[in-house]
Structure 1
Amino acid sequence: MSADLEFFFDPLCPFCWVTSRWVVEVQRQRTLAVRWRPLSLAILNEDISYEQRKQASPAYPDSHVRGLEMLRVVHAARERAGPERVGDLYTALGELVWDSEAPQGDDFDAVMQEMARHRDLRPALERAGLPADLAEAADDAGRDADLRAETFEGVDRCGGGVGTPILSFAPPDGPALFGPVVDSPPAGTDALRLWAAVETLATWPGFAELKRNLRSFPDTTLTAKLARTGTQVR
């Protein structure tokens, strides 16, 4: 399957989810072949200490483990049904998390506890038209070697030091960028305007970086009580 873009994702990254919904909106309006590929934040961060992040929420590392478990299921689904099914499965998994009702608590820890919660993945598989028994792959650590290779392939395309989302244009040899990081997915002509800007920067000869650390919490159903508040969460 040839692709105009490879999108590297972790289902438990809220910023990645919002960016992915923007890309889906762009696909709705123009011809854009996207190959969806796993990038595990749990694997990427395994050599760093979570202590600082655990001060914000003890559930922080567990949320990344949930993402890895989902990516094992993605790996199994791709193996059985082909890469063209991954995008629909990511959508179904993401909806399972990000369309969940906001927790009663209105602080960051309450949201992280919900993100880190074990979920039955079978409904997401069925919604994506895939066999429910693929959910058993969530505990299959034998898939992690492949996921590790794919994770660092995506990161290395950007030169290292990044997470999700990664947009890799004209893969595998075209330019790749981390981002864009936005708090809500633009729609309609705004989605196309943002796409044109990102694509222009990505393909501009010698372009390397455009960044600021100020960001607002993504706006999803799950995170509604924190949406558009300042955050340093990655």
Structure 2
Amino acid sequence: MSLKLVIGNKNYSSWSLRPWLAMTAFHIPFEEIMVPLDTPEFKARVREHSPAGRVPVLIDGEAVVWESIAILEHLAERFPDKAIWPSAAAARAHARSVATEMHGGFGALRREAPMNLWRPVEPRAFPEDTLKDVRALQRRWNEARERFGAGGDFLYGAFSAADAMYAPVATRLRTYAIEVDAVCSAYVEAVHAHPAFIAWKEAALQETHIVEADEVDWPQVKRV
């Protein structure tokens, strides 16, 4: 039975990017169902698939899974041969911890720098709580790369669920020209160079639907 993934607009929906990126990177076939964000019918349409009324939603037969990190865990359980999490126990434990931290943390960075893939790379001023999140983010990435990153360009060497969770933040750092250290800068480049992310972004740049709340230059909509 084929999997179905319900997502929001690719330009803006950071939560949707995470499972889509993982499923595409690990060559897990699925049907994509896109529901435009910030429309009157959004919640009703999503609730046709899930009671949560939010994207993303994974439909796997009778199993309905929402929340990005829960979807990633379901996929890891469903496809144990895909190495969605790092294989080494210590690395896997660390990856799950930082992925969960991303799921519930870095609120100021997410609020002040919404994902917007069609915005040109331009800096903007950020309050101290956002810069504090950036510093914390750098510590996590540096620790993962130093302890577990040998053998590849991603947090744990090979691409994993942790990278899927942090990919939207990598786009924010680039979009808003947020300065980070060399290790983190290289990681941002690795995320943007991944074929699955390239495919997502190419589709995002073709979209036309605008979400005002995620356009930090509103009423101007800047597009590359």
TM-score by length of 1: 0.30
TM-score, normalised via structure 2 length = 0.31
